[in-house]
């Protein structure tokens, strides 16, 4: 039986099982050091990254470095990484990777250019100006984008319901959300759909204002959006994802998310993505290629996984009375976590 999104997704929507990796001893004295730069707490994708190395017999020392996301802290971030002098740097997301490695045409003196950097969850490293091409990065950067192709996402989204008006909130402080808005606008024109967008205001320090979220979600709903699309934004789909999905439910909006945790833990209706642990393990393999496999970082291609999971949060479907059609249920993983309460602080 052909799935409604089969051609767009090829082998998508197959759920990949978590690998179980036995624990190895602590790092040896001569083990490499990896600086893990994150704008949030560690999540399953970082667990997978560690496992991807351990599966190949490598137990490095990890140094966790928190990134504030503020432009004024970028210089201090680079200074700290230079002081640590790690053998490899792991980054999550476009904004973090840009703060560490800088754009391809950026001032090399401001960024880390003498250490290999392996990223995850940079949707489009070329559009983010990190690279000129995917296949051979040609600089100290490689990684694993996690997002399914946008056409596949929208095919899965519209197989659930024939949504025609798709809402999206843009965070100007995150390049991925701006680029996603541009790509969505083009795809909407091609498919005869309407994009209902809103932009987060920034404060005097250039930070997005979380207090504006209730008004923005209500505005998107009032302008006729039928579903709210949440891309892989640290601010929207991680830090404030529970708030955004709650506000959407209160407004009667379905939510489609590309971050796995938003569906499994934070009240998003459904989403399509590469499984987080497997994405991290693949990135761990790329790090191993550099640290022990004799590969130069500039020769390690940037690749996505070839399988994606469609996951549906059934308690949210019941609350919104938006039950998935049988054809979607046959291809999806249905989860039933406790529903995130409607009433909670921002």
Q: What is the pLDDT of residue 205?
A: 83
**Residue 24 covered by a domain:** no
Contact between residue 328 and residue 310 where contact means Cβ atoms under 8 Å apart = yes
What is the secondary structure of 39-94 as a DSSP string? SS---HHHHHHHHHHHTTT---EEEEEE----GGGHHHHHHHHHHH--SEEEEESH
Q: Is residue 163 part of a domain?
A: yes
β-bridge partners, 88 = 34
Residues 54, 91 within the same domain: yes
Tokens of 274: 């590469």
Q: Are residues 35 and 108 in the same domain?
A: yes
Q: Which of 37, 51, 14, 56 is nearest to 122 (CA)?
A: 37
Residue 226 falls inside a structural domain: yes
Q: Which two tokens stand for residue 263?
A: 């569906």
Token pair for 178:
């701006």
If asked whether residues 184 and 314 sit together in one domain, one would say: yes
From 279, 297, 281, 280, select the one nearest 289 (Cα to Cα).
297
Q: Which residues, 6 or more positions from 45, have their beta carbon under 8 angstroms from its beta carbon?
A: 92, 120, 121, 146, 276, 277, 279, 280, 283
Do 195 and 313 lie in a common domain?
yes
Query: Are residues 291 and 267 part of one domain?
Result: no
Q: How far is CA 333 from CA 20, 49, 59, 140, 345, in A?
A: 20, 24, 33, 37, 30
| pLDDT at position 17 | 33
| Whether residue 60 sits in one domain with residue 44 | yes
The answer to whether residue 7 is domain-embedded is no
In a domain, 64, yes or no: yes
In a domain, 139, yes or no: yes
Q: What is the pLDDT of residue 11?
A: 34
- Tens-digit pLDDT string for the chain (346 aa): 333 344 333 333 333 333 333 444 456 778 999 999 999 999 999 999 999 999 999 999 999 999 998 889 999 999 999 999 999 999 998 889 999 999 988 788 999 999 999 999 887 787 778 887 666 667 999 999 877 888 889 999 999 999 999 999 999 888 767 778 888 999 999 999 999 999 999 988 888 999 999 999 999 999 999 999 998 777 887 789 999 999 999 999 999 998 788 898 899 999 998 888 999 999 999 999 999 999 999 989 888 888 888 999 999 999 999 999 999 999 899 998 766 565 544 4
Does 244 lie in the same domain as 193? yes
Q: What are the structure tokens assigned to 307, written together?
A: 């399988």
Residue the block writes with tokens 């929507």: 13
Cα dihedral: 190, 260, 170, 254 (round 10): 70
CA dist 222 → 163, 181, 203, 229 (Å): 16, 20, 25, 16
**CATH number for position 294:** 3.40.50.2300
Residues 6+ apart with CB under 8 A from 162: none
pLDDT of residue 342: 55
CA distance 91 to 203: 26
Same domain, 208 and 283: no
> HEC states along 328-345?
HHCCCEEECCCCCCCCCC
- Pairwise CA distance, residues 209 & 200, whole Å: 7
Number of domains, the chain: 2
DSSP state for residue 26 in the 8-state scheme: P
The CB density around residue 322, as the number of other CB atoms within 10 Å, is 18
Please tell me whether residues 205 and 162 are part of one structural domain. yes
Quote the CA–CA distance of 109 and 12 in Å, as a whole number. Answer: 42
Domain holding 84, by residue range, is 31-146+276-299
Task: Assess whether 112 and 125 both reside in one domain.
Answer: yes
In angstroms, the CA 285 to CA 243 distance is 35
**73 and 217 share a domain?**
no
**Contact call for residues 143 and 93 (beta carbons, < 8 A):** no
Spell out the residues 6+ positions from residue 186 whose beta carbon is closer than 8 angstroms to its own: none
Q: Please check whether residue 256 is in contact with residue 227, taking contact to mean a CB–CB distance below 8 angstroms.
A: yes
Asked, for residue 95, whether it belongs to a domain, the answer is yes
Say if residue 93 is in the same domain as residue 213.
no
* DSSP per residue, 166-222: EEEEE-TT-HHHHHHHHHHHHHHHHHT-EEEEEE--B-TTS-B-GGGHHHHHHHHHH
Residue 235 lies in a domain: yes
């Amino acid at each position: 039986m052909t799935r409604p999104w089969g051609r767009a997704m090829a082998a998508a929507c197959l759920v990949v099982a978590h690998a179980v990796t036995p624990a190895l001893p602590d790092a040896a004295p001569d083990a490499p050091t990896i600086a893990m730069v994150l704008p949030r707490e560690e999540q399953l994708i970082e667990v997978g990254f560690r496992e991807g190395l351990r599966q190949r017999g490598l137990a490095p020392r990890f140094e966790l470095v928190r990134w504030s996301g503020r432009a004024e802290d970028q210089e201090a971030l680079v200074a700290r990484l230079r002081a640590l002098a790690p053998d490899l740097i792991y980054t999550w997301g476009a904004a973090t990777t840009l703060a560490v490695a800088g754009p391809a045409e950026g001032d090399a003196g401001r960024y880390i250019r003498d250490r290999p950097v392996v990223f995850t969850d940079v949707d489009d490293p070329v559009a983010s100006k990190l690279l000129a091409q995917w296949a051979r990065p040609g600089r100290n950067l490689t990684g694993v984008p996690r997002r399914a192709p946008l056409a596949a996402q929208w095919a899965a989204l519209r197989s659930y319901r024939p949504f025609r008006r798709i809402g999206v909130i843009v965070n100007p402080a995150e390049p991925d959300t701006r680029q996603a808005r541009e790509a969505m606008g083009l795809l909407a024109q091609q498919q005869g759909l309407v994009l209902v967008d809103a932009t987060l205001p920034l404060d005097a320090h250039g930070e997005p204002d979380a207090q504006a979220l209730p008004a923005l979600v209500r505005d998107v709903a009032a302008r006729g959006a039928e579903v709210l699309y949440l891309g892989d934004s640290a601010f929207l789909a991680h830090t404030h994802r529970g708030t955004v999905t709650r506000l959407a439910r209160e407004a009667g909006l379905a939510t489609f998310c590309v971050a796995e945790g938003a569906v499994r833990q934070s009240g998003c209706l459904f989403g399509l993505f590469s499984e987080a642990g497997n994405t991290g393990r693949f990135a761990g393999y790329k790090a191993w290629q550099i640290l022990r496999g004799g590969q130069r970082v500039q020769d390690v291609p940037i690749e996505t996984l070839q399988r994606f999971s469609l996951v549906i949060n059934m308690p949210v479907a019941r609350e919104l009375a938006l039950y998935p059609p049988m054809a979607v249920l046959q291809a999806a993983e249905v989860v039933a976590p406790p529903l995130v309460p409607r009433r909670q602080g921002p």
